[in-house]
Chain A
């Protein structure tokens, strides 16, 4: 009997262990920048004197879809001062609804929003300005000047309950209106573009207001994960800060000095729109230069972070790293929430005598990701009517 129990224990334990391993082994994160999803996150939206953002969002299915979207205004309480405990981000959300017919693409400029006017002029042979032409997806509010933050859209059913349809894809284009004068001039009319980050919905979605990203069964997620989890590791392929751009210097004789900076935008995956409680994540940086020499540093992001790598720590500058190209791996510390990110590079040339900075051209990249966090991140949306 004891032996039988031993057999039973061994086989069932083995089976359970394998199943358990399956559940806990980090799979490829299904946070995606190239597949239709149920949650779309546009991590970096800017509207100021120099920059504005165009949002594109499409329905990739043959049925009508609905989405509930949240703008998160993450500007600093005092934009004149650097972020800190005494100058937190306001983290103010505004939400609105969208309806998209089958395969319908739509767009809007965040500074203007979108009204519902069926008489918006269409483009034709004499008019190529048709900004609002098309079926209006709904009334989209404009953001206020100085906006910096994110947009999150969640696929819902007609009643407003979250569903795992996986029918949305999107892009954001950051466009420079006019050159900056102080410090960091940008090329007027330049554009950088990234794919919205998608989180794929699972069949286990219970359609309540607590969205469970990854992880297992918890009191708040009795059905387990409803959406794929956020990534374990976010990978950057970046320049060391303040290094030169080999692209810029090769064409001019004598070579003109140039400089590259990288701006990183981080959004925690966990968000509570019901109580307006911002999430806080400590981000660990593991950095490798071209000699494969490792370095590390960390920073803390509360609700939304947008900073140059040099602002994180001087170890990310070329003076410390010693080579031009770098691999950076980002992880949340301990049980902190997961996060997603995008990177934007600024390439500019300058003259040394007299010192003159030329406008910078920008290029945005979606980051690469590895694995799925074993822990759950919660997005809590306000209750509907």
Chain B
């Protein structure tokens, strides 16, 4: 009997130690899984956000979107263009925001500019390791459906980008194809807006697969003085506990119901102050900032107005701050954030006094504690002869959640 007790004791203790070890391992595993999820522009993800798409054929401006699947399995994306092009209700004047369109005849009075928020959705299927691309102005269809095609013409010269694996005459390895892919052109020309793509299965149920990534190129300029800029598409990584419903919950990994990692608490932008002379070319530099809310309601067409705080530091460590509201999309010249007289802005070199600054951007949590009111964005730096885009830096995740509501088809 004693012997039995003695035998059981150490066994219990070994069991305990083993189980403890297992628990520790599993806890660490969970922690590690938590640490891996992220909102990022330098890794693969399940949700892709393209904060800025611009089309204006009159000014030779268009946007090329490139997306790749890095996995061995096909990926189906459910994508949503958001048309945020403001319309001049008082004639044909320009309402497009930002420095790129600053020289156009403005719509008067400025209150006649009416903001739009209209989504259009479509699907793209990428086969294993496949890169695809499309021009926002044209969209993309099966290559065989392009005019003057002879058969299996690939995506090459004199074609706009198209989907080469039609699923009938041309299949990829293992029978995969782009069947079901059809990207419409953006809703109007000129156009400014956003694109979001969510990884889904055949039934349009969101999937926890972090397999897609990509980048965006915006073309402007003339035949001789071409101007190309670009940035990485922002990815939101999925966690393992995705319930596959049409409400995507973004938040802190490990919090109840969270399916995707939360958007950043703070965005950080290093920038030249507007109108400061570039130290190499001597020309003035202007920066446009594009912000979109992380939450989006494609079901009710509801926006998530977010008061956005800007904390600005110059190279003397002197601090300024201002705020601005972001409804569903905001593309704005930095020196227009706080004033209509850019030279008096805290974002202008005249006021800030130094060439460069650091701005911390924070969406303020609103009255509804259910929503995180976080933001995603990019910046574009304009010089007279060239534009350069850059992804923003991010800091922290907040306890509130953000939601993306998909239509229930």
Contacts and interface: CB of A to CB of B under 8 A. Distances in A.
Interface of A: 4, 7-8, 10-12, 14-16, 18-19, 22, 25, 27-29, 31-36, 52, 54, 56, 58, 60, 101-107, 109, 112, 122-125, 128-131, 133-135, 169-171, 173, 175-177, 187-195, 235, 237, 243-252, 255-257, 288-294, 318, 322-327, 329, 345, 347-349, 358-370
A324 B155 contact: yes
B366 interface: no
Give 9 nearest A-B pairs by CB, closest first.
A11-B18, A134-B315, A15-B21, A189-B385, A190-B386, A18-B25, A193-B388, A247-B219, A123-B349
Given A123-B353, A349-B226, 4 more contacts: A107-B356, A248-B219, A329-B70, A347-B228
A286 B386 CA distance: 33
A369 B38 CA distance: 13
Contacts of A329: 70
B132 A189 contact: no
Which applies to chain B's interface (DSSP): helix, strand, loop or mixed?
A: mixed
Contacts of B29: 18, 22
A261 B128 CA distance: 25
B349 A243 contact: no
B271 to A, nearest CB: 8
A14 B18 contact: yes
Nearest to A233: B70
B373 interface: no
B107 interface: no
Which one of B29, B229, B319 has the highest number of Cβ atoms from chain A below 10 Å of its Cβ?
B229
27 contacts: A11-B15, A34-B41, A54-B279, A56-B270, A123-B349, A123-B355, A128-B277, A128-B284, A130-B277, A134-B355, A191-B381, A193-B389, A235-B68, A237-B67, A243-B156, A246-B64, A250-B62, A290-B132, A291-B164, A323-B156, A325-B161, A327-B129, A358-B224, A361-B225, A362-B228, A366-B41, A369-B42
A101 B390 CA distance: 24
Interface stretch (B78-86, B170-178, B198-206, B290-298): B170-178
A123 B44 contact: no
A305 B97 CA distance: 40
B170 A291 contact: yes
Given A36-B395, A135-B317, A361-B221, A187 B386 contact: yes
A200 B242 CA distance: 29
Interface in B25-71: 25-26, 28-29, 32, 35-36, 38, 40-44, 57, 60, 62, 64, 66-70
B70 A235 contact: yes
A28 B43 contact: yes
B127 A292 contact: yes
Given A104-B317, A187-B226, A250-B138, A8 B18 contact: yes
A122 B217 CA distance: 35
A254 to B, nearest CB: 10
Contacts of B24: 15, 19
B213 interface: yes
